[in-house]
Amino acid sequence: MSLDIQSLDIQCEELSDARWAELLPLLQQCQVVRLDDCGLTEARCKDISSALRVNPALAELNLRSNELGDVGVHCVLQGLQTPSCKIQKLSLQNCCLTGAGCGVLSSTLRTLPTLQELHLSDNLLGDAGLQLLCEGLLDPQCRLEKLQLEYCSLSAASCEPLASVLRAKPDFKELTVSNNDINEAGVRVLCQGLKDSPCQLEALKLESCGVTSDNCRDLCGIVASKASLRELALGSNKLGDVGMAELCPGLLHPSSRLRTLWIWECGITAKGCGDLCRVLRAKESLKELSLAGNELGDEGARLLCETLLEPGCQLESLVKSCSFTAACCSHFSSVLAQNRFLLELQISNNRLEDAGVRELCQGLGQPGSVLRVLWLADCDVSDSSCSSLAATLLANHSLRELDLSNNCLGDAGILQLVESVRQPGCLLEQLVLYDIYWSEEMEDRLQALEKDKPSLRVIS
């Protein structure tokens, strides 16, 4: 639990009657109230509603992962319908809200002009519920800027009402509809709504939505025309190399200032990687890229690494599990030694093996390395690599997090790591070792290490 005079933040705690009685006065005065997965049900909602009615300071209410149901949500919303309510952020994610409950929510939106952010993911709203919700969103009194609708059982039929909202709301900044079956037709309708909208959209999240390569032409126009767009999430869609070729002209447009691009599991190969590299070379604004789950292979890795060495590429975070082998690690080693922008490299789930890790260590050990986070989970690493890793931890002064989870490490290898990490000159702050098994003696050593070095966390 986190508590100060302005914030009440409780997660994953079953609240007894006595505990609940202690918290009610805080609900009446805190600016931020977060009761996440606290076993709240419909019965508690009357108390919440009464407390909120007399809390003019409330700016954020988060009740996610509680089984409130339509009746409970209705009750909570009644507590927000007071002239003094100035709430800005409301999260009802995973609260068992259904389409039937959206009518009350829609009416509430008309009375909360200060509300800027609404999280409704993981509720079975359906198309009928979404239609009701959009009626409230279209009210002139509603000035919502961010809407999250992930896993809400929406189809393409929901996209026209959403497009109407986008057209009508110039202040709209973020839309998340990931993990809904809106498919190609629905995505096209949303893109048309965005094209017609004066809104300065900053984030569009369409992961696992049935986006196709044909949709990439529509998305290209959005990326090119919305200079405000900073984040585009398209993971787990069948874009393929054809889709990347369609999307990249938008990313290359002079007005594009995209910062984050998620295209994991999109069927991209080394060919599509070539198109993407043109974007990386040309766009200093692009800082975060996820390519995980694409079959780029070592050739794709080579293309990316060559690009990362060019001055126009200022990528800071790269996430990839793309069928790489040890053969590409010399390229990554050069990047780690020479690139002055890349701070995070996640290359878990690749068959790098000990030879590949030793190549990476050569780059990390160079004086100019700036990398802060390195993930090497499930990379077929054994104790044989640990001497190189241990030496690197002492030579490198930028690395703060190292993940070696799910590798074939034993006491001998971990001991070498421990001996380096315990040294004052090692600045590592987080060592992640999930799914690795060691002796009780080694467990004692790790616990003693954390005690002796409070700045370090060993996560297992």
Closest to 390 in 3D by CA, of 368, 367, 412 = 412
Cβ atoms of 258 and 282 closer than 8 Å = no
pLDDT recorded at residue 6:
87
pLDDT in tens, 390-429: 999 999 999 999 999 999 999 999 999 999 999 999 999 9
Within 10 angstroms of residue 121's Cβ, the number of other Cβ atoms is 21
Binned at pLDDT 50, 70 and 90, residue 5 comes out as: low
Whether the predicted pLDDT of 49 surpasses 80:
yes
pLDDT recorded at residue 388:
96
Antiparallel, parallel or unpaired: β 288-290 and 317-319: parallel
Q: Which long-range contacts (CB under 8 A, 24 or more apart) does 382-385 make?
A: 382/354, 382/407, 382/408, 382/409, 382/413, 383/408, 383/409, 383/410, 383/412, 383/413, 383/416, 384/354, 384/413, 385/354, 385/357, 385/358, 385/361, 385/413
pLDDT in tens, 145-195: 999 999 999 999 999 999 999 999 999 999 999 999 999 999 999 999 999
Q: Which amino acid belongs to residue 219?
A: L
pLDDT recorded at residue 240:
97
Using the 8-state DSSP alphabet, how is residue 382 labeled? B
> How confident is the model over 314-340, as a mean pLDDT?
93
List the structure tokens of 92: 């009802």
At 41 the three-state DSSP class reads strand
- The full DSSP string for 288-332 is EEE-TT---HHHHHHHHHHHHTSTT----EEE--SS-BGGGHHHH
Whether the predicted pLDDT of 50 surpasses 80:
yes
Whether the predicted pLDDT of 2 surpasses 70:
no
What are the angstrom distances between the C-alpha of 176 and each of 48, 147, 231, 425? 28, 6, 11, 44
pLDDT recorded at residue 42:
86
Instruction: Report d(CA 280, CA 342) in Å as an integer.
Output: 12
β-sheet bridge partners, residue 374: 345, 402
pLDDT recorded at residue 57:
94
pLDDT recorded at residue 88:
97
pLDDT recorded at residue 157:
98
pLDDT recorded at residue 4:
52
What are the angstrom distances between the C-alpha of 398 and each of 226, 336, 369, 374? 36, 11, 7, 11
> How confident is the model over 37-53, as a mean pLDDT?
93
Over its C-alpha atoms, the chain yields an Rg (Å, rounded) of 25
Enclosing H/E stretch for 242:
helix 240-252
pLDDT recorded at residue 129:
98
Cβ atoms of 265 and 294 closer than 8 Å = yes
Cβ atoms of 125 and 154 closer than 8 Å = yes
pLDDT recorded at residue 154:
98
pLDDT recorded at residue 394:
95
Using the 8-state DSSP alphabet, how is residue 124 labeled? B
Cβ atoms of 417 and 387 closer than 8 Å = no
pLDDT recorded at residue 48:
95
Closest to 272 in 3D by CA, of 306, 245, 299 = 245
Using the 8-state DSSP alphabet, how is residue 189 labeled? H
> How confident is the model over 345-356, as a mean pLDDT?
95
Q: What pTM does this model have?
A: 0.92
